[in-house]
């Protein structure tokens, strides 16, 4: 398996156009996959869904009008409508709204981590994750480096057509994302979660990241792991109304798909759908806390290949006993040394291949 890589340069519209034009087949296939799911399980028409998607535009415009221009560029390059690209970039929220059967509305299983200097053999800061999602999306995975004058160069491990996701930037900020969900999540309007991740990757330091996330709660739940080459690592459990900041344990932070801090009147849906979340979190912490003096890269790669609880493990594989629509696997595994900017990845479950270094 391979991941398409793409490096785009220019103003916001130009980088979007280059993205959309170079990955047009993948962008269209990605859109068709999500729209087919929304149509199948919601009984809503495509135009109704696209109209809902466009209601996110004022929120995105208020955050950063250049994000809208970039999506306009993607749409033009891929020969799609802006509403179709906005739908992709708000797919986290649209899944919550249009996929009421929770078996289908998950936004990715994922096990994410961050390591502070005191927990690593080289004294560097690391961030990474296994991104688990639906196997039909494997071919639409994309490693996208974006250079816009006046903004930090950033690299996303994303899906074709989506301009915000997990990744790293030239300022030494790294981001991982996880699905979490509360019973009160309804797919409300606001800044789409994945575009929040993009904005975080355009900031200069972790305090700015925390300030932005605190000032912009909702519209849905989502977990964001943020690390900085200065050695600070935090995890943000975001809800429709706020967020909880989690601190490292012995220099390590791990998050999967359950709330580690839950308000008394909230109901955690994610852990009911993915009960393996607890074992994955426990196993990853075990790897980091019982590693001894081994090289940190060896520990990270070994931990991301962990098969405890197989097939619903950190290194996730399809479960043949489930209907095809409910099967998941690790589509991308990555880790980044934020001190050096080195990013390594695999396409598909990491047990099946060596980690490759991404060449910018």
Q: 3-class secondary structure for the chain?
A: CCCEEEEEECCHHHHHHHHHHHCHHHHHHHHHHHHHHHHHHHCCCHHHHHHHHHCCHHHHHHHCHHHHHHHHHHHHHHCCCHHHHHHHHCHHHHHHHHCCCCCCCCCCCCEEEEECHHHCCCCCCEEEEEEEECHHHHHHEEEEEEECCCCCCEEEEEECCCCCCEEEECCCEEEEEECCCECCCCCCCCCCHHHHHHHHCCCCCHHHHHHHHHHCCCCCCEEEEEEECCCCEEEEEECCCCEEEECCECCEEEECCCCCCCCCCCCECHHHHCCCHHHHHHHHHHHHHCCCCCCHHHHHHHHHCCCCCCCCCCCCCCCCCCCHHHCCEEEEEEEEECCCCEEEEEECCHHHCCCEECCC
Is the pLDDT confidence value at 101 over 70?
no
pLDDT at 322: 87
pLDDT at 108: 60
Q: What is the pTM of this model?
A: 0.96
What is the share, in percent, of the chain residues with pLDDT greater than 70? 98
pLDDT (average), residues 33-39: 95
Is the pLDDT confidence value at 85 over 70?
yes
Is the pLDDT confidence value at 104 over 50?
no
pLDDT at 186: 86
All structural domains of the chain, each given as residue ranges with its CATH number in brackets, are 11-98 (1.10.10), 111-357 (3.60.60.10)
Is the pLDDT confidence value at 228 over 90?
yes
pLDDT at 292: 81
């Amino acid at each position: 398996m391979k991941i398409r890589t793409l490096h785009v340069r220019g103003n916001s519209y130009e980088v979007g156009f280059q993205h959309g034009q170079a990955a047009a087949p993948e962008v269209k296939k990605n859109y068709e996959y999500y729209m087919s799911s929304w149509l199948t399980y919601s009984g809503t028409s495509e135009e109704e869904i696209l109209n809902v998607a466009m209601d996110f535009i004022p929120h995105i415009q208020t955050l950063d009008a250049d994000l809208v221009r970039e999506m306009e560029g993607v749409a033009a390059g891929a020969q799609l409508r802006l509403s179709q690209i906005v739908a992709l970039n708000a797919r986290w929220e649209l899944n919550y709204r249009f996929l009421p059967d929770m078996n289908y509305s998950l936004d990715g299983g994922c096990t994410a981590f961050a390591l502070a200097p005191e927990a690593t053999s080289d004294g560097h800061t690391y961030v990474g994750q296994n991104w688990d999602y639906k196997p039909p999306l494997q071919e639409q995975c994309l490693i996208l480096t974006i250079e816009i004058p006046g903004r930090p160069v950033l690299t996303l491990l994303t899906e074709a057509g989506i301009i915000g996701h997990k990744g790293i930037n030239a300022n030494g900020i790294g981001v991982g994302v996880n699905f979490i969900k509360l019973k009160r999540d309804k797919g409300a309007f606001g800044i789409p979660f994945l575009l929040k991740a993009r904005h975080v990757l355009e900031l200069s330091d972790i305090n700015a990241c925390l300030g932005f996330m605190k000032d912009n709660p909702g519209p849905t739940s989502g977990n964001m792991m943020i690390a900085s080459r200065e050695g600070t690592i935090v995890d943000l459990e975001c809800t429709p109304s706020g967020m909880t900041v989690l601190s490292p344990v012995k220099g390590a932070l791990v998050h999967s798909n359950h709330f580690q801090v839950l308000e008394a009147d909230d109901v955690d849906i994610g852990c009911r759908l993915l009960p393996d979340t607890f074992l994955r979190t426990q196993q990853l912490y075990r790897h980091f806390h019982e590693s001894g003096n081994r090289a940190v890269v060896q520990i990270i790669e070994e931990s991301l290949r962990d098969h405890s609880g197989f097939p619903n493990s950190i290194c996730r594989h399809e479960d043949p006993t489930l209907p095809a629509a409910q099967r998941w696997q690790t589509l991308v595994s990555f880790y980044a040394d934020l001190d050096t900017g080195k990013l390594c990845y695999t396409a598909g479950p990491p047990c099946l291949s060596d980690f490759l270094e991404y060449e910018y």
